[in-house]
Amino acid sequence: MNPVVFISHASRDRPAAEAICGHLEGNAVSCWMTPRDLCPGTPCDDQMAAAIDGCYAIVAVMSPHANSSPHVVSELCRGTARGKRVLPVLVAETELSGAMASLFSAPAWIKAFPQPVEQHLAGLVETVRRLLRKGDAGVRNGTDSPARSRGYVFVSYVAQDRNYMQRMTPFLRGRGYAYWDYQAGDREYGNTLHHELEDRIREAAAFLCIVSDRWRQSDWVAKECIFAKDVGVPIFVAQVEPLTQPCPILLNDQTRIDMSADFERGLVTLDDEFAKAGL
């Protein structure tokens, strides 16, 4: 039987995760969590991916440790990409990083501190039961639900165009999408982060490329676009300013929306293009 809840947590938050798991299972809500439910002989990542895909909801045990954990981010991104409801349980005061903040737009936090954690979880149990009654996850029979997250859009842009990315986010959130970006700044991708970046693009519902003349100044945005094309993620090009040079060849065969004259009208066109692509 698939678990009802996947519990995503950093290893240093295992005591809190175990307390949450015990409370949920004590109220007849089946859970999956590491390392308890890992079986020998099968890659851990494959087991966790299967558990996320089969669950109704994800309980995110949120703390400063989880906030800085690439594994927690990866699990939550996979869950949102598959339309899972994420229920954040705050077990310590936490200021979300850019990556985490993009996954939680106006979240209904469950504050589960000070200790003991269990005394704060009555609302969590009721929320999970309500999801089961409503079929809010809608995943097991393949149906869609207005309350269901559509996953996330990977937003690719050069650091100097971050203001346009920020203008995009209300549009994305209003249509049920989270978004992913690397918080601009200097994109210093080491080997580990490079692989994480590929995972984020591969799991995205769509790839949104913000283009201005500055786009050519970064090799990374071109690499991101090439990878999105290679793995078959739908690509949308938002031209946000008039270009002094022709649009880069790499982008010519992608869906392009000219937003340079009227940004708000461009968002309407982008919405139409999303709909045409079945998003």
Higher pLDDT, 115 or 213: 213
Tell me how far CA of residue 32 lies from CA of 1, 2, 3, 20, in angstroms. 11, 9, 6, 11
pLDDT at 184 over 60: no
Helices (H), the chain: 14-26, 44-54, 64-67, 70-81, 98-103, 122-134, 162-174, 191-202, 219-230, 249-252, 263-276
Q: What is the mean pLDDT of residues 139-155?
A: 48
Single-letter residue type at 211: V
Which candidate, 37, 78, 83, 32, places its Cα nearest to that of 59? 32
Q: How confident is the model at residue 135 (pLDDT cuts 50, 70, 90)?
A: low
Q: How confident is the model at residue 147 (pLDDT cuts 50, 70, 90)?
A: very low
Q: Is 140 helix (H, G, I), strand (E, B) or coil?
A: coil
Q: How confident is the model at residue 252 (pLDDT cuts 50, 70, 90)?
A: confident
Residue labelled with tokens 């049920």 = 176
- For residue 6, the model assigns a pLDDT of 94
Asked whether the beta carbons of 8 and 57 are under 8 A apart, the reply is no
Q: What does the chain come to in residues?
A: 279
Residue labelled with tokens 């000070």 = 114
pLDDT at 234 over 80: yes
Q: Which domains does the chain have, with CATH numbers?
A: 5-134 (3.40.50.10140), 152-276 (3.40.50.10140)
pTM: 0.53
The pLDDT tens digits of the residues spanning 103-117 come to: 765 456 788 888 888
The pLDDT tens digits of the residues spanning 217-229 come to: 888 888 888 998 9
- For residue 1, the model assigns a pLDDT of 55
Residue labelled with tokens 């786009």 = 215
